[in-house]
Structure 1
Amino acid sequence: MSIYAIGDIHGGLKALIQVLNKVEVKEEDTLIFVGDYVDGWSESAQVIEFLIDVSEEVTCVFIKGNHDVWCEKWLETGDVNPTWYMHGGKETMDSYESYSDEEKIEHLEFFQKMPLYHIDKENRLFLHAGFTSMHGVEKEVFKETFYFDRTLWEMALTLEQSSIKEDSPMFPNRLKHYKEIFIGHTPTTNFNHDEPMHAYNVWNIDTGAAFKGKITVMNIETKAFHQSDELPGLYPNEKGRNKV
């Protein structure tokens, strides 16, 4: 049995299928997705449909990302968040044009069931963005932090460049709670990396699929990973989404 973590997808169904085919997922494997399934490329609704089907064949954990929160709200109420609309929401709405009300309800229920984080038996934490409580995710007051925070990743990067040791009183308590932390949300392409990045015990597997990057699938035990082609090459007549 293998456990795989999958980075941000952003409506890139072609890339998702491509990279999962490279991994050759088996029935006994587990797939843990770190969120942002929609917004960007033209197949957001189709991504959700595909993931629902995959979850019937293999054990899956679907973490909720910030773009998923926006899409869920739209499916539930019909309200269009202006920020969401400008940053991939329009493309997601377009992808649902051929879907019936019943199908949209099924997708809404899929979003509603998504957890904001997952901790496995080895005390590995999976979430979309980060958390701020020095006592761990269970003590986080503002739940939006789980899908919007970037300070966890910034802190890990800074720590990687410092000489602070874990037994130092200056060492951040946030990082002491978990064996490893797997996140998305902040593209590694922002740091001129097109592959996953590692800082202290944090693994960032968002490799920029929303923009000019790829979708990444990582074996969390071995850290071996597979990647799709760059998304613009798979969707040559599209632009992807604006950053947010």
Structure 2
Amino acid sequence: MNGRLIAIGDIHGFNQPLQTLLEAIDPTPEDLIVTLGDYVDRGPDSKGVIDTLIDLGRRTQLVALQGNHEEMMLSVIRGDEPHHAWLRYGGVETLESYDFDGEMDFLPPDHLAFFESLGDYFVHDQFFFTHAAYDPTLEMDQQPTELLRWHSLRAGIPDPHFSGRIAVVGHTAHPEAEILDVGHLICLDTNCYGGGLLTAMEFPSKRVWQSNPQGVLVR
């Protein structure tokens, strides 16, 4: 691959800092950008985030993973789960960004196609990417969805994966907006929705770009 490999942590409806990072990164068609999930909920502009990511996918190679918040939203839209849990964890803000009128088909067709295209994991060279965590003993295509999307690192950091690849994850927001790097695992959720930062990192160089929730580049 001639381009860069870059991952972006949990966005959670913060479109302005996402646009700030992308302007600083200036993606090319050769670059490969992996977004780690949780695009929606809690922040003010989930719809804008999806518009930005769809446009990004036209300009560069985008691999978008599914987070637990996308899982909750899709389960409600499909009628598989009641809406209460999703609304309690940020779904209200998402609905407001889409000017929700009471009908559950509120997603534009291109947004629904985007959500339905999301993957569970991505492997590239010496790295693999998931939203939350992994089982260190299993091949990636055998990983339980519960681990990939829901496991909090506060409940335990997985051991190194047997493949020797480095895990790049999100999901577990660092309260001090710091990147967690334990060698075999790097967590890029730096708590943007909680007043922290939105983080992007290039691999293997570990170059970092960060924006605060107001869209001001800080690194």
Q: Taking structure 2 as the reference length, what is the TM-score of the superposition?
A: 0.87
Instruction: Show the counterpart of 1:60.
Output: 62
| Partner of residue 51, structure 2 | 49
- Which residue is 2:92 aligned to? 90
Paired residue for 1:105, among 86, 105, 109? 109
Unaligned ranges ≥5, structure 1:
157-171, 235-244
What percentage of aligned pairs have identical amino acids?
26
Matched letter for residue 201 of structure 1: H
* Aligned twin of 2:189: 206
Partners of 1:102 and 1:90 in 2: how far apart?
13
- Output the CA distance in 2 between the equivalents of 1:200 and 1:102: 42
- Are 1:115 and 2:119 matched, yes or no? yes
Q: Secondary structure at the match of 1:175?
A: coil
In 2, the alpha carbon distance for the partners of 1:155 and 1:70 equals: 24
Distance 2:115 2:43 in 1: 19
SS of 2:186's equivalent in the other structure is strand
Q: Aligned partners of 1:125 and 1:153: how far apart in 2?
A: 21
Partner residue of 2:211 out of 228, 231, 237 = 228
Q: In structure 2, how many angstroms separate the alpha carbons of the residues matched to 1:51 and 1:77? A: 26
User: Does 1:186 find its partner at 2:172?
Assistant: yes
In structure 1, C-alpha distance between the alignment counterparts of 2:148 and 2:55, rounded to whole Å: 26
Residues 227, 15 of structure 1: alpha-carbon distance in 2 compared, 3 angstrom cutoff:
same
Q: Secondary structure at the match of 1:11?
A: coil
**CA-based RMSD:** 2.4
User: Counterparts of 1:75 and 1:107 in 2: how far apart (Å)?
Assistant: 13
Counterpart secondary structure, 2:44: coil
Secondary structure (helix, strand or coil) at the match of 1:210 reads helix
1:78 & 1:147 partners in 2: Cα distance? 17
Shift of 1:215: 0.7
What amino acid sits opposite 1:188 in the alignment?
H
> Number of residues paired by the alignment?
211
Matched, 1:176 2:178: no
Structure 1 window deviating more from structure 2 (178-187 vs 98-107): it is 98-107
1:153 CA drift (Å): 7.9
2:76 pairs with 1:74: yes
Larger radius of gyration: 1
Q: Does 1:135 align with 2:138?
A: yes
